[in-house]
């Protein structure tokens, strides 16, 4: 019943968004037209833009949620019109499970794109489910109030710096500060060896280095180009954290323009590999809003993870030939934790989505993903990757 109600709300949201671009049919078209013209003029002049948004969502781990927030964008140098607009999306919300969450994925461009400063910021205080470590635990552990339930408090602050030393080539470093602590654990969770070992050691601090090749035309919504990232992160008590471990991340993406501008084939291959005394909250996980959408985030976790996504992104066009603000996506994906040669641990995934461009090349994202015996709706800003 909740999902039916959610679909109705999402359809209503899409109808409202569609109506913004067809203001002639509204009772007071003058206001919307003037507002849109003002936004276009601000964008042309490189001024600060802010777009507030409120909408519903449903994910397997949060249940039905209501999320609000704002997409803020700006130019760091108004005299450099070819510079990409920096973006600061902020989303916060509550859910029917009693969860509170806040997130932001910041991307900023400075000094004629010689310097990029990004950051991932997350906070969640929520009733959750912990299935254990490994594919078999995720698959075979029954979800119930006696086997998997607990309350989780999690935050992450992960700023990254990139310096461009030649066109499209970057090097840099990152800091990662994260904290995962559980309480009110059910008998199944309280008896899990990884939970017992690491729950009282929740704080982690890491420093890392990375190299990047990035030829995308626009970072937050690429229509063409490559993104190739190699990163190594080192966490330790010597930085003030509670645990010693390392994480290695490989992320390869390719964006191919197929037809008109905005009609793009996006491909991503990613692997995350960790070694050492890795806490249960820092294991590689699938099912986030940025990979296999539709899975329970955290159900499948282990030291290593790999996945691949192929997504077609379609911009609709008006009768006069102009690109509209509306778009749709469809994707097929698959991934695995604890990779094995026979792909016995393979997790299939697919889905569809709707896009509404709230600022130039920056969209509101509504996705519906399906996995193995699971599904979910996602409400967010900008593309998944």
pLDDT at 84: 92
pLDDT at 12: 46
Residues of the chain with pLDDT under 70: 1-37, 39-41, 44, 341-342
pLDDT at 235: 98
pLDDT at 253: 98
Three-state SS string across the chain, please? CHHHHHHHHHHHHHHHHHHHCCHHHCCCHHHHHHHHHHHHHHHHCCCCEEEEEEEEEEECCCEEEEEEEEEEEECCCCCCCCCCCEEEEEEEEEECCCCEEEEEEEEEEECCCCEEEEEEEEEEEEEEECCCCCHHHHHHCCCCCCCCEEEEEEEEEEEEEEEEEECCEEEEEEEEEEEEEEECCCHHHHCCHHHHHHCCCCEEEEEEEEEEEECCCCCCCCCCEEEEEEEEEEECHHHCCCCCEEEEEEEEEEEEECCCCCCEEEEEEEEEEEEECCCHHHCEECCCCCCCECECCCCCEECEEEEEEEEEEEEEECCCCCEEEEEEEEEEEEEEECCCCCCCCCEEEEEEEEEEEEECCEEEEEEEEEECCEEEEEEEECCCC
pLDDT at 343: 74
pLDDT at 40: 67
pLDDT at 23: 46
In tens, the pLDDT along 133-174 reads: 999 999 999 999 999 999 999 999 999 999 999 999 999 999
């Amino acid at each position: 019943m909740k999902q039916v109600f959610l679909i109705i709300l999402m359809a209503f949201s899409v109808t409202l968004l569609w109506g913004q671009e067809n203001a002639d049919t509204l009772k007071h078209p003058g206001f919307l037209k003037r507002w849109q013209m003002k936004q276009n003029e601000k964008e042309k002049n490189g001024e600060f833009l802010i777009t507030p948004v409120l909408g519903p969502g449903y994910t397997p781990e949060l249940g039905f949620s209501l999320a609000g927030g704002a997409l803020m964008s700006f130019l760091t140098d108004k005299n450099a019109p070819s510079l990409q607009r920096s973006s600061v999306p902020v989303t916060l919300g509550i859910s029917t499970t009693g969860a509170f969450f806040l997130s932001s994925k910041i991307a900023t461009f400075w000094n004629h794109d010689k310097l990029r400063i990004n950051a991932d910021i997350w906070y969640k205080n929520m009733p959750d489910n912990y299935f254990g470590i490994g594919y078999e635990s995720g698959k075979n552990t029954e979800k119930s109030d006696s086997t998997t339930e607990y309350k989780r408090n999690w935050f992450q602050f992960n700023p990254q710096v990139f310096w461009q030393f030649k066109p499209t080539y970057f090097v840099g470093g990152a800091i990662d500060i994260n904290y995962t602590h559980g309480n009110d654990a059910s008998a199944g969770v309280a008896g899990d060896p990884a939970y017992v070992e690491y729950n009282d050691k929740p704080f982690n601090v890491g420093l890392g280095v990375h190299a990047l090749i990035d030829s995308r035309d626009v970072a937050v919504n690429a229509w063409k180009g490559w993104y190739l990232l190699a990163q190594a992160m080192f966490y330790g008590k010597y930085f003030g954290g509670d645990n010693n471990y390392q994480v290695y991340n490989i992320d390869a993406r390719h964006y191919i323009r197929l037809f008109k501008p905005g009609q793009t084939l996006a491909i991503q291959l990613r692997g995350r590999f960790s070694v050492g005394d890795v806490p249960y909250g820092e294991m590689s996980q699938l099912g986030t809003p940025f990979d296999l959408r539709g899975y329970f985030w955290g159900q499948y976790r282990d030291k290593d993870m790999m996945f691949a996504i192929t997504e077609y992104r379609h911009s609709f066009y008006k009768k006069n030939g102009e690109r509209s603000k509306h778009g749709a996506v469809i994707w097929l994906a698959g991934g695995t934790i604890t990779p094995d040669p026979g792909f016995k641990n393979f997790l299939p995934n697919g889905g569809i989505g709707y896009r509404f461009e709230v600022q130039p090349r920056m969209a509101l994202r509504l996705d519906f993903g399906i996995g193995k015996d699971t599904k979910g709706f996602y409400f967010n800003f900008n593309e998944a990757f």
